[in-house]
Every structure is written in C-alpha cells, then in structure tokens.
Chain A
Amino acid sequence: DIVMTQSPSSLAVSAGETVTINCKSSQSLFGSVRQKNYLAWYQQKPGQSPKLLIYLASTRESGVPDRFIGSGSGTDFTLTISSVQAEDLANYYCQQYYDTPWTFGGGTKLELK
C-alpha cells in the first residue's frame, strides 16, 4: 500500500496568515500515460463529510476559493492556504488515487492561534 505522510499534524494560525501543509507519498503518484499526479486534498469540518478542494495535485474543484493552492509532483506535495480565514479552520487530508487501495494522509488540524 502507498503510505501518505502529512505534516504537521496540527497548525495554529492567525487570520490572514499563509499556511503550508505537506504530504509525502511512499511512491511516486505521477502517471506517465496522462502525465498527471493522482493526488487530492480534502477539507473536513467537524460533523461534516470531507469536501474535495484539489485534484490532480493542483486543480481546484469548482467553487473552491483561489486562496487554496495545490502544488508538487512525484512524491512531495503541498497545500497552501493564503490569507487564512476563520471558515478555513478544519482538518485537511491528502489522498492518493494512483493505486488501490487508495490511501489518505493522517490529517492536519488547522486551529486558531
């Protein structure tokens, strides 16, 4: 199984700050046929289902604010949230869908400082 390692596990921020969440996979998620990285990012607020933010490592899902930016390739990926807002306080998960079983990172909890 592909192991997804997220860091940090929690992050305390002030509104307006820029934050970076890292995700490392145990093997490359780059598909040579489509030349894409099969990596997604989700946001989950308490009591809610996860919400897809980013897919193919850097493509924002429709309706997701442009302050959410996904980057990276191969085994190292980053979710950057610029100018964090109070509504962004949540858990964030990366997920690989390069190979089954699809696996998730352990999550990063974004909290208010």
Chain B
Amino acid sequence: QVQLQQSGAELVKPGSSVKMSCKASGYTFTSYYIYWIKQRPGQGLEWIGRIGPGSGDTNYNEKFKGKATFTVDKSSSTAYMQLSSLTPEDTAVYYCARRTTAFAYWGQGTLVTVSS
C-alpha cells in the first residue's frame, strides 16, 4: 500500500533553515509527483508546490518561491523540502502528498516550530 512517512518535529530558531523528508513506499517513486502542503495551527491548507522525482521538475506556488526548495533522492525514494530564512509565520505542519486525481495519499505531517 502507498505510504508517505515524514520526518519528526523540528524546533528551529528564526533566521535558520530546516530540511524535512518524506519517504515513499508501496509504489514506483519516480512515477508520481510529490506535493507539499502547509497548514498553520488552527488554519487552512496552502499548496506549496510539487516535484517530479523522475525528472526533478519543480513547480512552486509564487508565494513560496525563495522560501521552499524541493529535492529528491531516488535511491531511497525520499523527497525533501528545505525552508529557509524561517520566521514565526513558518510555524506550521507541513505535509507531503501524492495524487491519484486529487490528493489521495498524505504523510502524517512534520511540525515545524520557529521560536527563539
């Protein structure tokens, strides 16, 4: 079965960066885009962008250009998202997801807390 296993919670300082992972299993990793979605505490959902693991092709929501960077490691079927220049507004749960048509598969989320 399709599974997306995300890395654990992070507590980071303002101005720093954080890199989180999303390990895929149960399907051919290079055949489907991995999507990243942000959810601030008690708030709604925002689409950050996507990466095609086979091609390395990326698409970013304009709002997150310069903030988020997507990479993959095909050998371990893992997608990564790095967030830079962190501020308290980046405090959120970050999900990775995979589509069938809509987002049918989600990771459990990585909580990033930005605090001094």
The reply to whether chain A is a binding partner of chain B is yes
Interface membership of A68, Cβ < 8 A: no
Q: How many A-B residue pairs have CB under 8 A?
A: 47
Nearest Cβ distance between residue B20 and chain A, in whole angstroms? 15
Contact status A40-B103, CB under 8 Å:
yes
Q: With A52-B103, A55-B100 given, name 4 new contacts (CB 8 A).
A: A52-B104, A97-B101, A101-B62, A104-B45
For chain B, the bracket of interface size reads 10 to 19
Annotate B38-62 by CB proximity to A: 1 below 8 A, 0 otherwise: 0000001111010000000001011
Contact status B107-A93, CB under 8 Å:
no
Q: Given A49-B106, A49-B108, A55-B102, A105–B47 Cβ distance below 8 Å?
A: no
Contact status A95-B108, CB under 8 Å:
no
Nearest Cβ distance between residue B106 and chain A, in whole angstroms? 4
For chain A, the bracket of interface size reads 20 to 34
Contact status A95-B109, CB under 8 Å:
no
Secondary structure dominating the interface of A? loop
**Least CB separation from A49: chain B residue:** B106
Report A-chain residues with C-beta under 8 Å of the C-beta of B74: none
Report B-chain residues with C-beta under 8 Å of the C-beta of A61: 104
Among residues 86 to 116 in chain B, which have CB atoms less than 8 Å away from a CB atom of chain A? Answer: 95, 100-104, 106-109
Among residues 22 to 74 in chain A, which have CB atoms less than 8 Å away from a CB atom of chain B? Answer: 40, 42, 49-52, 55-56, 61
What 7 A-B pairs come out closest when comparing CB atoms?
A40-B102, A49-B106, A101-B61, A55-B102, A104-B45, A102-B47, A55-B101
Nearest Cβ distance between residue A103 and chain B, in whole angstroms? 7
Report A-chain residues with C-beta under 8 Å of the C-beta of B107: 49
**Least CB separation from A106: chain B residue:** B44
Contact status A95-B102, CB under 8 Å:
yes
Contact status B103-A93, CB under 8 Å:
no
Report A-chain residues with C-beta under 8 Å of the C-beta of B103: 40, 42, 50, 52, 95
